[in-house]
Structure 1
Amino acid sequence: MAEDIAPRSVGEACRDVLLSADPFAKLMRARAVARDWRLGLLAHRFDAEMPLRPARPAAPELLPPSQMPKRGKMGSERSRIAMLHALAHIEFVAIDLAFDLVGRFGRDFPPEFVGDWLKVGAEEAMHFALLDRRLKQMGSHYGALPAHDGLWEAAEETAHDALARLAIVPMVLEARALDITPTTIERFTQAGDGVSARALTRIMADEIRHVSAGTKWFNRATKRLGVDAPEYYQMLVNRHFRGAIKPPFNDSARRQAGLTRDYYIPIAY
């Protein structure tokens, strides 16, 4: 009789996503891992070390944020392509952020945590695919322009603290996207680019749920530690986030995600 073969670990599956450099391969693996977890084909086991940095394609060229070229006004197609390319890069990196979160910290949380964040990762892959398809419709593609690497710096800063990662990535960076995306959608609409505006509207609805997942797991973890969630959030942001928490805030979208004003207003300026 053949010996039973242990199912593949979710940790190893997450590592494979991070080590996929090709954008199409990464998004397909991300979707496959989320599907396999949902079907019970992956073990809740973390026996693979996450890389310090994920694999990246040869393009786009990654520049410091200060060296990124100015995009100009949204009225021109060139500036709209530049904005969509920047957003596509954010979604591309967000795939890795979600799978790194699971692979690096999943052992400290129940299986529900894994399911939530693998779903987030699969949705980030879908967002990237939407934006890359729109770029191609406009005669461009992902990699045609430079991009900045600031998002992954947040991952490196919080690589040894699950609560810091939750505080900085979904509860600061993704929450900031909730603040600025409505204005971006309006600018595309005013420029007559309803296709892009609709894509961003769809993405924003998902991002509210992503911030909600971050807030949910942050609150559960701080409750387990016996600390005040907003105060602990503020301490972690002050320690690990180099930027500013500044208005305007989309209080309504943040509130839908459970990120109420008592978290961020005391440290806003």
Structure 2
Amino acid sequence: MTVIDAHQHVWDLSVRDQDWIEGPELAPLRRDFTLDELRPQAAAAGVDATVLVQTICVPEETPEFLALAAADPLAAGVVGWTDLTSRAVGDTLAALRARPGGEHLVGIRHQVQGEDDPDWLLRPDVDRGLAAVAAAGLAYDLVLRPEQLPSAVAAARARPELTFILDHLGKPPVRPRAQDTWAADLRSLARLPNTVAKLSGLVTEADRCDWTPADLRPFVMTALEAFGPQRLMFGSDWPVCTLAADYGQVMDTTRELLAELAEHERAEVLGGTATRICNL
């Protein structure tokens, strides 16, 4: 079974500040994280390759990530960033694909979770950008707050030619009875055939000091029922996950939560879906 971590990050604070890392809760992340640090942890967890995902919305980061992927087989794919509202977005994507490592570009992401407009995804200029992402043969990663899920449903419905990948299951607050509205919106998204979701980021939405696999199980089961194994993919969200769990714990917990699936279904979530959807 090939295991793909479909969601991990790196950054070098001497190259660029990560201005979202602020406050005492995020202080452990205020240092450099590299593929060399991740490599032994991924190997110990039985992970064969990863997808490197953008962290901040600046144009310089994506070419740097593509260069990393070109030089390091651990990073099999890159989800980058470009300004979706730019009229030149199509040309920008073509230029990224033409760069060294450009064949590793598998998707685009924007920090929608940081936008004040709950319907940012539905703006005409953003929709034009999403059309360009689809035309380039790329997927679009959705990183958003639970209350933004309805606009994601509308955006995905309006662009059936584009594959939308929901990061972190839409970041539900992992606590009792938090599922009610989130689950209904998640199922609405899953009804659209051009949508996929990542089993990632849940440990940091739980009580970081006192979570158990049982806390995550209802959310994972809801996602499995809604999307099915062939439209779910595992992601560690390293190093953000280290606020609540180390890499091995995240992998072990995921395997525990998928234990009741048939072997071929586990293989889909742990690698097959990412390989197919991201063209790895």
Larger Rg: 1
Identify the structure with the greater helix proportion: 1
Identify the structure with the greater strand proportion: 2
Same fold judged by TM-score > 0.5? no
TM-score (norm 2): 0.27
TM-score (norm 1): 0.28
